[in-house]
Structure 1
Amino acid sequence: MTFQYRRIVRFAVLPLIAGLGFSTATLFAKDAAKRGVVSAVPAVPAPRPTPWLYVNSDVPQEKAWLFGTLDNGLRYAIRRNAVPPGQVSIRVRIDAGSLMENDSELGFAHFLEHLSFRGSKDVPELEAKRIWQRLGATFGSDSNASTTPTETVYKLDLPQATAESVDESLRILAGMMDSPNISDQTVNSERAVVLAEQREQFGAAVKVGDALRAHFFSGQKLATRSPIGTTATLTGATATGLKAFHDRWYRPERAVVVVSGDLDPAVMEAMVRNRFSGWKGDGPAPADPDFGKPDMKAPAAAAVVEPSFPTMIQMAVLRPWEQVEDTISYNEGLMVDAVALRIINRRLETRARAGGSFLQAQVDQEDVSRSADTTTVSLVPIGDDWRAALRDVRAVIAEATTVPPGAADIEREVSEFDLALLGQVENAGAEPGSKQADDLVRAVDIRETVTTPQGALDIFRGAKRLFTPERIRDATKRLFAGAGPRILLITPKTVPNATQLASAALSETVTASTLGANARAVTFDDVPKLGTPGTVVSRSSLTQLPIETVKLSNGVNLILFPNQGEPGKVYVSVRFGNGYKALPAKRETLAWSGPMALVGTGIGDLGLEELDRLTNGRKINMGVSITEDAFVMSAETRAPDLADQLKLLAAKLDKPGWDPAPIVRARAQLLASYEIMGASPGNVLTRDLDALVRGGDPRWTTPDRKEIEALTPESFRALWAPLLATGPIEVQIFGDFKTEDAVNAALATFGAMKPRGPAPIEPGSERTGVPVHVAKPVTRTHSGPPEQAAAVIAWPTGGGLDTVVESRKLEVLAAIFNDRLFDQLRNAAGASYSPTVSSQWPTGMDNGGYMIVLGQLKPEGVDLFFKLSREIAADLAAKPVDADELARTLGPIKQYYARAGTANQFWLRQTAGSSRDPRRIAAMASLARDFLQITPEQIQETAKRYLAPGKDWSMVVLPQAAVPKAAPAKKTAAR
Structure 2
Amino acid sequence: MRSARLFLLAATYFALLMTASPALAQAQVQPSDPWAQAASDIPADSNVRFGLLPNGMQYAVLRNATPAGQASLRLRIDAGALMENEDQKGLAHFMEHMAFNGTTNIPENDLLRILERLGLAFGADTNASTGFDQTLYMLELPRTNDETVDASLRIMREQVSEALMAPDAIDAERGVIEGEERTRNTPQQRVQNAQLALIAPGQRLAHRPLIGDMDIIRTAPRERFVEFYQAYYRPSRATLVAVGDFDVDAMEAKIRGAFESWRPEGAEGPEPDLGVVARRGPETRVLVEPGTQSLVQINWVRAPDMDPDTVAERRENLIRGLGLAVLNRRMGELARGDNPPFLGAGASTSTIADSLSLGTLAAAFNPGGLNRALETIEQEQRRLVEFGITEAELQREITDNRTALQNAVTAAATRSTPALADGLVRAVNDDRVFSSPTTNLELFNATVEGLTPDQVQAAVHPVFEGQGPVVLVTTPVEIPGGEAAVTAVLEASRQTAVSARADEAALEWPYTDFGPPAPPGARAEIADLGVTRIDFPNGVRLFVKPTNFRDNQILVNVRTGIGELALPNDHVTSMALANSVLGPGGTSRLTVDQLTRVLSGRTYSVSAGLATDAFTLGGATRPEDLQLEMQVLTAYLVDPGLRAAPFELARSQIPQQLVQARATPGGVLGRDLGELLASGDKRNATPTAEEVAAMSIEEVRAGVIEGRARGPIDIVMVGDVTVDAAIAAVANTFGALPDRGPQTEPPPGSVVRRFPAPG
For the superposition of Structure 1 and Structure 2, which TM-score range results when normalised by the shorter chain? over 0.9
User: Structure 1 residues 212, 62: closer, same or farther in 2, change over 3 A?
Assistant: same
**Is the 8 Å Cα contact of residues 294 and 320 (structure 1) preserved in structure 2?**
yes
The residue number in structure 2 matching 1:797 is none
The residue number in structure 1 matching 2:568 is 584
User: Structure 1 residues 710, 520: closer, same or farther in 2, change over 3 A?
Assistant: farther
What does the per-residue CA deviation read over 1:420-452, in whole Å, with 9 as the maximum and x for residues that have no partner? 112211211111222211111111111111000
The residue number in structure 1 matching 2:239 is 256
- Residue 750 of structure 1, aligned match among 723, 734, 737: 734
- Residue 69 of structure 1, aligned match among 43, 52, 56: 52
Cα offset, 1:653, TM superposition: 1.4
2:405 paired with 1:390: no
User: Structure 1 residues 680, 382: closer, same or farther in 2, change over 3 A?
Assistant: closer
Counterpart mapping for 1:617-628 below 5 A: 617-628=601-612
Counterpart mapping for 1:772-787 below 5 A: 772-774=757-759
Cα offset, 1:510, TM superposition: 4.2
The residue number in structure 1 matching 2:15 is 24
Q: Secondary structure at 1:93's aligned position in 2?
A: strand
**Is the 8 Å Cα contact of residues 48 and 62 (structure 2) preserved in structure 1?**
yes
The residue number in structure 2 matching 1:297 is 280
Q: Secondary structure at 2:290's aligned position in 1?
A: coil
Q: How far, CA to CA, are the matches of 1:510 and 1:393 in structure 2?
A: 14
The residue number in structure 2 matching 1:873 is none
Query: What is the letter of the counterpart of residue 507 of structure 2?
Result: V
The residue number in structure 1 matching 2:311 is 328
User: Bigger shift: 708-717 or 481-490?
Assistant: 708-717
Q: Note the residue ranges of structure 1 that are not aligned, 5 or more in a row.
A: 12-19, 30-36, 41-48, 775-975
- Residue 159 of structure 2, aligned match among 171, 176, 196: 176
Q: How far, CA to CA, are the matches of 2:505 and 2:512 in structure 1?
A: 16
- Residue 531 of structure 2, aligned match among 543, 547, 555: 547
The residue number in structure 1 matching 2:172 is 189
The residue number in structure 2 matching 1:489 is 473
Counterpart mapping for 1:317-716 below 5 A: 317-354=300-337, 355-465=339-449, 467-495=451-479, 497-508=481-492, 509-511=494-496, 513-514=498-499, 516-524=501-509, 526-527=510-511, 529-716=513-700
Query: What is the letter of the counterpart of residue 132 of structure 2?
Result: P
Query: What is the letter of the counterpart of residue 504 of structure 1?
Result: A
What does the per-residue CA deviation read over 1:347-386, in whole Å, with 9 as the maximum and x for residues that have no partner? 1111122223212111112221221121222212344131
Cα offset, 1:166, TM superposition: 0.9
Cα offset, 1:739, TM superposition: 2.4
Cα offset, 1:629, TM superposition: 2.2
**Is the 8 Å Cα contact of residues 6 and 351 (structure 2) preserved in structure 1?**
no
2:95 paired with 1:112: yes
- Residue 229 of structure 1, aligned match among 204, 208, 212: 212
Q: How far, CA to CA, are the matches of 1:167 and 1:38 in structure 2?
A: 29
Q: How far, CA to CA, are the matches of 1:660 and 1:510 in structure 2?
A: 33
The residue number in structure 1 matching 2:24 is none
Q: How far, CA to CA, are the matches of 2:736 and 2:618 in structure 1?
A: 20
Q: How far, CA to CA, are the matches of 1:4 and 1:236 in structure 2?
A: 32
Q: Which has the higher contact order (CA 8 A, sep 6+)?
A: 2
Query: What is the letter of the counterpart of residue 752 of structure 2?
Result: R
Q: How far, CA to CA, are the matches of 2:267 and 2:109 in structure 1?
A: 31
Q: How far, CA to CA, are the matches of 1:250 and 1:595 in structure 2?
A: 49
Q: Secondary structure at 1:450's aligned position in 2?
A: coil
Cα offset, 1:293, TM superposition: 2.6
- Residue 141 of structure 2, aligned match among 150, 158, 181: 158
Q: Secondary structure at 2:646's aligned position in 1?
A: helix
Q: Secondary structure at 2:65's aligned position in 1?
A: coil
Q: How far, CA to CA, are the matches of 2:388 and 2:14 in structure 1?
A: 28
The residue number in structure 1 matching 2:84 is 101
User: Bigger shift: 731-740 or 473-482?
Assistant: 731-740
User: Structure 1 residues 39, 260: closer, same or farther in 2, change over 3 A?
Assistant: closer
TM value normalised by structure 2:
0.95
User: Structure 1 residues 4, 298: closer, same or farther in 2, change over 3 A?
Assistant: closer
User: Structure 1 residues 7, 576: closer, same or farther in 2, change over 3 A?
Assistant: farther
Q: Secondary structure at 2:343's aligned position in 1?
A: strand
Query: What is the letter of the counterpart of residue 168 of structure 1?
Result: A
Query: What is the letter of the counterpart of residue 58 of structure 1?
Result: D
User: Structure 1 residues 363, 385: closer, same or farther in 2, change over 3 A?
Assistant: same
The residue number in structure 1 matching 2:61 is 78
Counterpart mapping for 1:299-314 below 5 A: 300-314=283-297
Q: Secondary structure at 1:378's aligned position in 2?
A: strand
Q: How far, CA to CA, are the matches of 1:453 and 1:4 in structure 2?
A: 22
Query: What is the letter of the counterpart of residue 105 of structure 2?
Result: D
User: Structure 1 residues 39, 454: closer, same or farther in 2, change over 3 A?
Assistant: closer
Q: How far, CA to CA, are the matches of 2:412 and 2:6 in structure 1?
A: 20
Query: What is the letter of the counterpart of residue 73 of structure 1?
Result: G
Query: What is the letter of the counterpart of residue 48 of structure 2?
Result: W
Aligned-residue CA RMSD (Å):
2.2
What does the per-residue CA deviation read over 1:683-740, in whole Å, with 9 as the maximum and x for residues that have no partner? 1111110110111111111111112222322122122221121221011111112322
Query: What is the letter of the counterpart of residue 246 of structure 1?
Result: Y
Cα offset, 1:500, TM superposition: 2.5
User: Structure 1 residues 513, 531: closer, same or farther in 2, change over 3 A?
Assistant: farther
- Residue 43 of structure 2, aligned match among 60, 63, 77: 60
What does the per-residue CA deviation read over 1:760-799, in whole Å, with 9 as the maximum and x for residues that have no partner? 412211111221111xxxxxxxxxxxxxxxxxxxxxxxxx
User: Structure 1 residues 594, 673: closer, same or farther in 2, change over 3 A?
Assistant: same
User: Structure 1 residues 515, 733: closer, same or farther in 2, change over 3 A?
Assistant: farther
Query: What is the letter of the counterpart of residue 485 of structure 2?
Result: L
**Is the 8 Å Cα contact of residues 57 and 326 (structure 1) preserved in structure 2?**
yes
Query: What is the letter of the counterpart of residue 712 of structure 2?
Result: P
**Is the 8 Å Cα contact of residues 149 and 227 (structure 1) preserved in structure 2?**
yes
Cα offset, 1:92, TM superposition: 0.8
Q: Note the residue ranges of structure 2 that are not aligned, 5 or more in a row.
A: 21-27
Cα offset, 1:545, TM superposition: 4.1
2:129 paired with 1:146: yes
Q: How far, CA to CA, are the matches of 2:500 and 2:661 in structure 1?
A: 35
Q: How far, CA to CA, are the matches of 1:620 and 1:84 in structure 2?
A: 24
User: Structure 1 residues 773, 81: closer, same or farther in 2, change over 3 A?
Assistant: same
Q: How far, CA to CA, are the matches of 2:441 and 2:622 in structure 1?
A: 18
User: Structure 1 residues 625, 483: closer, same or farther in 2, change over 3 A?
Assistant: same
Q: How far, CA to CA, are the matches of 2:128 and 2:730 in structure 1?
A: 46
Q: How far, CA to CA, are the matches of 1:369 and 1:712 in structure 2?
A: 47
The residue number in structure 2 matching 1:828 is none
User: Bigger shift: 628-637 or 297-306?
Assistant: 297-306
What does the per-residue CA deviation read over 1:443-492, in whole Å, with 9 as the maximum and x for residues that have no partner? 11111110001111111111113631111111111111112221111121
- Identical-pair percentage: 31
The residue number in structure 1 matching 2:23 is none
TM value normalised by structure 1:
0.74
**Is the 8 Å Cα contact of residues 33 and 52 (structure 2) preserved in structure 1?**
no
Cα offset, 1:596, TM superposition: 1.4
The residue number in structure 2 matching 1:915 is none
**Is the 8 Å Cα contact of residues 528 and 604 (structure 1) preserved in structure 2?**
no
**Is the 8 Å Cα contact of residues 398 and 511 (structure 1) preserved in structure 2?**
no
Cα offset, 1:233, TM superposition: 1.9
Q: Secondary structure at 2:12's aligned position in 1?
A: coil
User: Structure 1 residues 119, 427: closer, same or farther in 2, change over 3 A?
Assistant: same
Query: What is the letter of the counterpart of residue 759 of structure 1?
Result: T
User: Structure 1 residues 444, 491: closer, same or farther in 2, change over 3 A?
Assistant: same
User: Bigger shift: 348-357 or 406-415?
Assistant: 348-357
Cα offset, 1:145, TM superposition: 0.3
User: Structure 1 residues 606, 27: closer, same or farther in 2, change over 3 A?
Assistant: closer
* Moved segments of 4+, more than 4 Å: 2-5, 26-29, 37-40
